[in-house]
Amino acid sequence: MSDPDEFPNPTQAPDEHPTGWSAPAAEDPAQRRHRRVLWVAAGVFLAVQLVAVYLPGSPDGGLELPWLPGADKIVHFLIFAIPVYLFGRLSGRVGLVAGLFAVHAVVSELVQWRFIPYRDGDVWDAVADLLGIGMAALAVLYTKPTPRR
């Protein structure tokens, strides 16, 4: 395998991540605290996602919102978009993060279909998951943090 520095990307500054974000320099304590809070938030959103995706359903469909059709697709979009955005932004490896979550999106629908009581795997849920992942990845790639003043 070749050395990554052997063929540098001519469009990328030496101190830049592949996502276009600057490599973190020595952070002051406030920035460190902010990053720590974001890591905790990412972990909390991941836990919420796992519970929402793998929680058994109920025979009466108690998790459905009949007054808001398509609400479950919005939930699917958000429970994948938010952790992908946070983990992608924090790690600087948005491609890897998006890829892992994309695999999880498909696998989770298969698990729901086959193994979770009163749940069914839905292709449109997987589509909503993948759209959330894609939008979050694009948000990480095409937005940069604003400098603090």
Q: What is the pTM of this model?
A: 0.77
> Structural domain boundaries of the chain?
71-144
Residue with tokens 């052997």: 6
Q: 54 or 70: which carries more pLDDT confidence?
A: 54
Q: What is the pLDDT of residues 58-77, one digit of tens each?
A: 777 656 667 777 788 999 99
CB 80 within 8 A of CB 129: yes
pLDDT over 60 at 149, yes or no: no
Q: 89 or 67: which carries more pLDDT confidence?
A: 89
Residue 10, Cβ density class (10 Å: 0-12 exposed, 13-18 middle, ≥19 buried): exposed
